[in-house]
């Protein structure tokens, strides 16, 4: 195993690599803890790398880094499969190559690092593995409101105004309507809708962008 960490208690590492098919104790509880630690540190990393990205953009980026296939790939790089303790059935079926088993073992190992060396040790391991991967991801696309604002600024035109025009539906299924107003010389008003005021503003901004693009192409 190529994990860049030396365990003071090797039994923690052994437990992290013990699949439930091998009996008890196994790595299921460690996998639960490791999943939370991994998501937290990767979220912190993306928060630093993309200071202007919103919650949705950050969530999409994290999903590209933290998923079964991606974690299994990391586990293979670390050669975790060779150290797995599996039951006879999983050994015969090649469980040491299975994505789900490798990904779970990787998360369990992160929890073992945390229990052995503390949060800073775990954080260092995660950042060492995921910082290059995070930096290599395509930058998130700017949201429609940001793109509309930047477009109007580049043209020297007034910034858009967003006005709540209606709220419809029951409280548990509320729909907001927001009008995006572009003042002179454009004199455009377009309504967007969404399950939140923010979503409605983004929808209206997207429609404004489409309208301006159509004008430019005419």
Q: Let me know: does 126 contact 78? Beta carbons within 8 Å.
A: no
Return the number of other C-beta atoms located less than 10 Å from residue 65's C-beta.
Answer: 21
Please tell me the distance from the alpha carbon of residue 120 to that of residue 110, in angstroms, as a whole number: 11
What secondary structure letter does DSSP report for 18?
B
Please tell me the distance from the alpha carbon of residue 169 to that of residue 215, in angstroms, as a whole number: 34
- 199: closest CA among 55, 99, 70, 14? 55
Catalytic residue among 35, 104, 201, 203: 35
Q: Is 55 a catalytic residue?
A: no
Dihedral over Cα of 82, 109, 30, 74: its sign: negative
Catalytic residue among 107, 143, 201, 203: 107
Q: Is 35 a catalytic residue?
A: yes
Active site residues: 35, 107
């Amino acid at each position: 195993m190529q994990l860049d960490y030396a365990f003071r208690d090797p039994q923690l590492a052994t437990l992290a690599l013990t699949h439930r098919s091998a009996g008890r104790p196994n790595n299921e509880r460690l996998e639960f803890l490791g999943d939370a630690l991994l998501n937290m540190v990767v979220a912190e990393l993306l928060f630093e790398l993309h200071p202007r990205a919103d919650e949705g953009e950050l969530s999409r980026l994290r999903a590209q880094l933290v998923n079964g296939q991606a974690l299994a790939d990391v586990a293979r790089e670390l050669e975790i499969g060779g150290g797995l303790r599996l039951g006879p059935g999983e050994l015969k079926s090649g469980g040491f190559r299975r994505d789900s088993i490798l990904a779970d073992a990787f998360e369990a190992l992160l929890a073992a690092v945390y229990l052995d060396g503390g949060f800073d040790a775990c954080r260092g391991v995660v950042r060492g593995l995921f910082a290059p991967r995070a930096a290599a991801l395509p930058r998130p696309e700017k949201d429609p409101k940001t793109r509309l604002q930047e477009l109007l600024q580049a043209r020297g035109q007034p910034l858009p105004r967003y006005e709540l025009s209606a709220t419809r539906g029951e409280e548990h299924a509320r729909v907001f309507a927001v009008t995006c107003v572009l003042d002179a010389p454009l004199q455009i008003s377009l309504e967007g809708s969404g399950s939140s005021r923010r979503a409605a503003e983004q929808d209206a901004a997207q429609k404004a962008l489409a309208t301006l693009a159509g004008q430019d192409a005419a």
